[in-house]
């Protein structure tokens, strides 16, 4: 039996990258999955991968910054699958690399809307279902950029720091309820958000240097984050609550340094 057999799970940002890898991993482990993304084409590809592998999933095209949309896909999960045990609020955007003094209020609002308001809305609408059942796992994607500087732009980093605080405070809000809330802080992972970084390195012939600042000396892959999400979603993590886990090859274990060799 899979570690998520009998569970119902929602994964946002499931049209690509970490969300796609996580939706597929959850389905492989027996969960019925609601895959959510604003990108209908990418979402259809994810759904096809899951069903081809024998998994159970449905796709919902939705914007996680829209409260009615979030309420809608939570209700769809309960209606179609009969409940909800896991939600992975993963959808996010980078917000670009504009210098701090050139950033606009609109840019900040756009990033915060998806990266921080989105997880809040997922918690707000998923938690009542879980609280009524007395159990559930809520997972949010934060970032090492939310832990320390120099891992992302200012609005992105601030939004991810907010996610970490949101997870901590929500875990305590649901005190003694059976509902757990945790965050994953990915390091440099090859996804759509980081594609430009990888493409620039490849064009310069320096792709071998990507990830050189972490002691594992390489970038991460989406499936490596999905494996952490799977653990947090499962009953194996029954005593894990209110935490933010860096999955970054060791990048956040030290201060910046000039690598040897």
Write out the chain's pLDDT in tens, 261 residues.
699 999 999 999 999 999 999 999 999 999 999 999 999 999 999 999 999 999 999 999 999 999 999 999 999 999 999 999 999 999 999 988 889 999 999 999 999 999 999 999 999 999 999 999 999 999 999 999 999 998 889 999 999 999 999 999 999 999 999 999 999 999 988 776 665 666 565 667 666 666 577 888 888 999 999 999 999 999 999 999 999 999 999 999 987 766 665
Domain assignment of residue 234, yes or no: yes
Task: Classify residue 252: in a domain, yes or no.
Answer: no
Instruction: Name the catalytic one among 81, 88, 156, 239.
Output: 156
H or E element in which residue 201 lies: helix 195-204
> Model-level pTM greater than 0.75?
yes
Task: Please check whether residue 216 lies inside any domain of the structure.
Answer: no
- Classify residue 195: in a domain, yes or no: no
> Is 239 noted as a catalytic residue in this protein?
no
> Is residue 202 packed enough to be buried (19+ CB in 10 Å), middle (13-18) or exposed (0-12)?
exposed
Around Cβ 28, how many Cβ atoms within 10 Å?
18
Flag whether 213 is in a domain. no
* Domain assignment of residue 258, yes or no: no
In a domain, 145, yes or no: yes
Could you tell me the CATH number of the domain that includes residue 85? Answer: 3.40.50.720
Residue 21 lies in a domain: yes
Rounded to whole angstroms, how far apart are CA atoms 39 and 41?
6
- Please give the tally of structural domains in the chain: 1
Question: What residues make up the domain containing 145?
Answer: 8-190+222-246
């Amino acid at each position: 039996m899979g570690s998520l057999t009998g569970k119902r799970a929602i994964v946002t940002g499931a049209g690509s990258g970490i969300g796609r890898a996580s939706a597929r991993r959850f389905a492989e482990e027996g969960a019925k999955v609601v895959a959510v993304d604003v990108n209908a084409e990418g979402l259809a590809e994810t759904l096809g991968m899951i069903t081809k592998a024998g998994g159970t999933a449905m796709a919902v095209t939705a914007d996680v910054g829209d409260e009615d949309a979030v309420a809608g896909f939570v209700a769809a999960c309960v209606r179609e699958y009969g409940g909800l045990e896991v939600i992975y609020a993963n959808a996010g955007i980078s917000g670009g690399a504009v210098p701090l003094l050139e950033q606009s209020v609109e840019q900040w609002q756009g990033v915060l809307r998806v990266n921080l308001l989105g997880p809040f809305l997922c918690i707000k609408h998923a938690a009542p279902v879980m609280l009524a059942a007395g159990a559930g796992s809520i997972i949010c994607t934060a970032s090492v950029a939310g832990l320390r500087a120099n891992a992302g732009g200012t609005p992105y980093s601030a939004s991810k720091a907010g996610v970490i605080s949101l997870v901590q405070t929500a875990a305590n809000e649901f005190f003694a309820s059976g509902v757990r809330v945790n965050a994953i802080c990915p390091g440099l992972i090859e996804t759509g958000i980081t594609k430009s970084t990888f493409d620039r390195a490849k064009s310069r012939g320096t792709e071998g240097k990507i990830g050189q600042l972490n002691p594992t000396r390489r970038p991460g892959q989406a499936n490596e984050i999905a494996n952490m999400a799977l653990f947090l979603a499962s009953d194996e993590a029954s005593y894990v609550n209110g935490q933010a886990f860096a999955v970054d090859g060791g990048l956040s274990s030290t201060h910046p340094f000039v690598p040897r060799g």
